[in-house]
Amino acid sequence: MTQPEEPVPRGALAGCLVADFSRVLAGPLATMVLGDLGATVVKVEHPRGDDTRQWGPPFKDGESTYFLSVNRNKRSFVLDLSAPEGAADARRLAQRATVLVENFRAGRLADFGLGYDQLAAVNPGLVYCSISGFGGAGTPGADLAGYDFVVQAMSGLMDVTGPPGGPPTKVGVAVVDVLTGLYAAIGILAALGARRDSGRGQLVEVNLMSSALASLVNQASAYLNTGAVPHAMGNRHPSIAPYETLATRSGVLALAAGNDRQFRALCRALGDEPLADDERFVSNRARVAHRDTLAALLEHRLASRSTAEWVEVLRAAGVPCGPVNDLAAAFGDARLLGADAVVEQPSTAGQVLTVASPLRLSGSPVRYSRPPPPLGHDTEEVAAWLRTPRPAAPLDPA
């Protein structure tokens, strides 16, 4: 389990001030990524708080575990934008910020003097990231509310997920929000890179619908290039076989033989190497054409041992495979495999556990200096800093 390091190392984005006007998941995930990389993140919250503070159960010592998942390395700054002083403080923050992230209804922040054009006029170096459901101001989708579940449905993702012939099925997490947050972080980092040369910021726009379509990769390419509309295939892959879950003597095994060499290694480990020379299975194209027959033959052989036994045998043979874990087993496997997957931080809600960043930077490692903040925890500190005339000392990310 990863512990916060002392002293906290200087992150890759040290000196970058992020004004986070986003809520729920996509935006907060993007800003947490920036915070992990060393940026100072000020999370601007309505007096009611981020919606996810109320999403539960489960709760950890009164805090929503949903909120805890994407809000470490941030300060909570409560502002009522409808109040003149609140809007004024928000503008002061935006004028000092390096990056601003927002996911308000299109055009809404301009009502408070916080639109991109308004801020770029006084802070030309600002990187302004706007996250929407279906497109920004001026597009037909600008007024549509963006919710991950709805976008999973509209993007076709639900139609290629779940059992064949079954009902449309969403992914078990808000994966479109996650992907959109990551795309937002990439766009912000690209704009910061361009800013080094030009000295100017820019507007970065990303929306859930476009992110979902981009995430369909091979499925989208199949439709665009052939006109074929893919549909749900359960755990099978449309273009590779065997690449699915198969029954063993006890449970199921996730098996992914992605090329002929791996398939031959699989047959050898199963004690039936001649199967690899069967004309029905001699190439991936042939195996895809005869996947039902192949699956039945493989399950007949896999029935001789447990999933755990087959994992040991097949991994030793170089065949990609694994058990189908629940989350408890998944974190257990990560620990056994040497992944520092969990961060433990002391907070007002007791010890808070979050999933560690997957990024590993040798020279400027990610840091975990602040647990997810209680609502308004840093309001006085940030307000006092904003009202100090320039030049003001920067807010310390630690």
Q: What pLDDT shows up at residue 137?
A: 85
- Residue 291 structure tokens: 């996947």
User: Per-residue pLDDT averaged across 95-109, rounded?
Assistant: 95
3-state secondary structure 30-50: HHHHHHHCCCEEEEEECCCCC
Residue 7 pLDDT > 60, yes or no? no
pLDDT at 8 over 70: no
Token output for 268: 């050898």
Active site residues: 177
**Residue 395: what pLDDT?**
84
| Dist. CA 225–CA 195, nearest whole Å | 37
For the CA atoms of 375, 381, 383, 384, the dihedral, rounded to the nearest 10 degrees, stands at: 160
Rounded Cα distance, 42 and 383, in Å: 11
> Distance between CA 354 and CA 396 in Å, rounded?
22
pLDDT digits (tens, 9 = 90+) for 284-327: 999 999 999 999 999 999 999 999 999 999 999 999 999 999 99
Q: Say which CATH architecture domain 252-323 belongs to.
A: 2-Layer Sandwich (3.30)
pLDDT above 70 coverage of the chain, percent: 96
Helix axes 26-36, 175-198, angle to 10 degrees: 50
- Superfamily (CATH) of domain 17-216+336-386: Crotonobetainyl-coa:carnitine coa-transferase; domain 1 (3.40.50.10540)
Q: What is the DSSP letter of 396?
A: P
Cβ atoms 205, 132 nearer than 8 A: yes
Q: What pLDDT, in 10s, does the model give residues 34-47? A: 999 999 999 999 99
Give pLDDT, residue 294: 98
pLDDT category, 9, cuts 50, 70, 90?
A: low
Structure pTM?
A: 0.93
Name the residue ranges covered by the structural domains of the chain: 17-216+336-386, 252-323
Q: Which of 178-192, 278-292, 343-357 has the lowest mean pLDDT?
A: 343-357
